[in-house]
Amino acid sequence: MKDYPQILFKNRRPGETLFLDGYRAAGGYGALKKALTQMTPQEVIDEVKNAGLRGRGGSGFPTGQKWAFFPAQKAGVKYLVCNGDEMEPGTYKDRQLLLADPHQLIEGMIIAAYALQIDIGYIFLRYAYEDCARRVERAIAEARQAGYLGNDILGSGFFCDLRLHRSAGRYILGEETALLNGLEGRRPNPRAKPPFPVNQGLFDRPTVINNVETLANVPHIINGGADWYRGVALTAEGAGSKIFGLSGHLEATPCVELPLGVPLGEIIEHYGGGVWRGRRFKACLPGGASTPYLTRAHLDLPMDFDAVQGARSRLGTACITVFDDRTCMLAATLNLIRFFARESCGWCTPCRDGLVMVTWLLEKIEGGTASMDDVYMLQDQMRNISGQAMTGAMWGPMRGEYVFKVGSRAFCPLADGAMAPVEALLRLFRDEVEDHVKQGRCPF
């Protein structure tokens, strides 16, 4: 097993949480001092942009580019929001980060607030993460008492304060505009874009929203520099490290920090201990429940944003769920779709009604009561819900490749993410789907 350098997990100890004294002893808040005393806000933004940091919450959008869109010089109140509503099935990396080293997030948020000239930051945390909430509250109180929050931070004249908000629950709150409605005390429906949150977000004021892991990377970029951060990754296109959370049919299911670009097979064999019970790898969700499956053909695939996208999937949260060769992939997909259908906010028809229909169709096929017309109807829902369709003459009973259409039929990304495993099921495991129909039962 290769000994890769640790960045986000360098202070991680089993069963322990590092608070202020330990964090400062390890160099904590040195990046904040450097940013406030040696760098202008624009220089901080440029450093993050040049480092190539991409969003670690699932979208992979360049963080520095998002910050560059922000009207930092606009008068009045502006907000920074940390999205800690980690409810993607199979994803638990942010929880591990906060349990180990909460001050890392606090320092990253203060630096981000300085770069964007923001006074107030909110940490929006998943309702079930009470253990994390207690640690974050303590870290905020310690930072405030030590002079890292409040007026005239480190004698710079900069003011910033942070507040923790416990989510009321529901998966839809992970969507950034639904999160803003929830933070305001409204029903958490997604908002139409434009306007985008950077221009009109929380309480109709300019707002930047970043994930826990994304913001925790910021102090390390300021300390080490953009060139160092880019050099951490194993691929030319990648930058930095990534926290990978393993789950499913593995001998071990750790949460590990690895450079971007480590091959999928190496992660499964060396860190997951290989597929359990002597069985073989069949497929995996590479980045949470809303990402298309990868198969044995992808075991050499570098796990970074561009490479995984080139394999017609997404790195997402980089939390990998493995399925062994005895798994019915239709049953696995049905389990995921039941979750997404239940968690739909009901705001738009393709999601509210479409996911229920997809659930019904998958249940019929899995139960052995379906015909091939039901399979074709399932194909049709790809177009109705997420704008994907079979190409040309390959429509109907003929097999063909799915193509991604620009623009979704749904109001927000929840429905598109929900249909990602369905798309991969029909593309990669079509024979299994048809065997259910032909045999009148689940063949597994």
Question: What's the pLDDT tens digit per position in 288-302?
Answer: 999 999 999 999 999
Q: 165: helix, coil or strand? A: strand
Which of 417, 420, 415 has the alpha carbon at shortest distance from 349? 415
Question: In terms of Cα–Cα distance, which of 304, 322, 319 is closest to 256?
Answer: 319
90: pLDDT strictly greater than 80:
yes
Euclidean distance between the first and final Cα of the chain, in Å? 34
**Which residue bears the tokens 């194909």?**
379
Neighbours of 300 (CB within 10 A): 10
Q: What is the DSSP string of 305-340?
A: HHHHHHTTS--TT-EEEEEETT--HHHHHHHHHHHH
Residue 159: which residues within 8 A CB-CB, separation 6 or more?
A: 119, 150, 151, 152, 153
Q: Residue 402 and residue 214: Cα distance in Å, rounded?
A: 32
pLDDT tens for 1-26 read: 678 999 999 999 999 999 999 999 99
- State the amino acid at position 92 in one-letter form: Y
Of 10, 18, 219, give the one whose Cα is nearest residue 107.
219
What is the enclosing helix (H) or strand (E) of 163? strand 161-166
* Domains 20-231 and 329-439 agree in fold: no
User: What is the pTM assigned to this prediction?
Assistant: 0.94
Fold for domain 233-324?
Ubiquitin-like (UB roll) (3.10.20)
Over residues 305-317, the pLDDT tens digits come to 999 999 999 999 9
- 150 DSSP 8-state letter: B
* pLDDT score of 406: 43
Q: What is the pLDDT of residues 99-136, one digit of tens each?
A: 999 999 999 999 999 999 999 999 999 999 999 999 99
According to CATH, the topology of domain 20-231 is Rossmann fold (3.40.50)
Calculate the average pLDDT of the chain.
93
Could you tell me if 55 and 63 are in contact, meaning their C-beta atoms sit under 8 angstroms apart? yes
Position 389 scores a pLDDT of 57
For residue 163, the model assigns a pLDDT of: 98
Q: What pLDDT score does 398 carry?
A: 35
Q: What is the C-alpha radius of gyration for the chain, rounded to an integer number of angstroms?
A: 22
Report residue 310 CA to chain centroid gap.
18
With 50 as the cut, is the pLDDT of residue 60 above it? yes
Decide: residue 273, CB within 10 A, 0-12 exposed, 13-18 middle, 19+ buried: middle
Domain ranges of the chain: 20-231, 233-324, 329-439
Mean pLDDT of 354-363: 97
**420 to each of 62, 93, 349, how far by Cα in Å?**
22, 21, 18
pLDDT digits (tens, 9 = 90+) for 153-185: 999 999 999 999 999 889 999 999 999 999 999
Rounded mean pLDDT, 60-76: 94
Q: Where are the beta strands (DSSP E) in 249-406?
A: 255-259, 281-285, 294-295, 319-324, 389-390, 402-403
Q: What is the pLDDT of residue 407?
A: 53
| Separation of alpha carbons 354 and 438, rounded Å | 25
pLDDT digits (tens, 9 = 90+) for 359-409: 999 999 999 999 999 999 999 998 888 776 544 333 333 344 434 444 568
The 10s digit of each residue's pLDDT in 322-337 is: 999 999 999 999 999 9
Q: Output 341-345 pairs: Cβ under 8 A, ≥24 positions apart.
A: 341/418, 343/87, 343/170, 343/171, 343/172, 343/414, 344/172, 344/414, 344/415, 345/170, 345/172, 345/178, 345/187, 345/188, 345/189, 345/190, 345/414
Q: Evaluate whether 88 touches 319 at the Cβ level (below 8 Å).
A: yes
Question: What is d(CA 356, CA 275) in angstroms, rounded to the nearest whole number?
Answer: 33
Contact 175, 169 (CB under 8 A): no
Which fold is adopted by the domain 329-439?
de novo design (two linked rop proteins) (1.20.1440)
What confidence score (pLDDT) does residue 268 get?
98
Q: Which of 337, 338, 301 is nearest to 320 (CA)?
A: 301
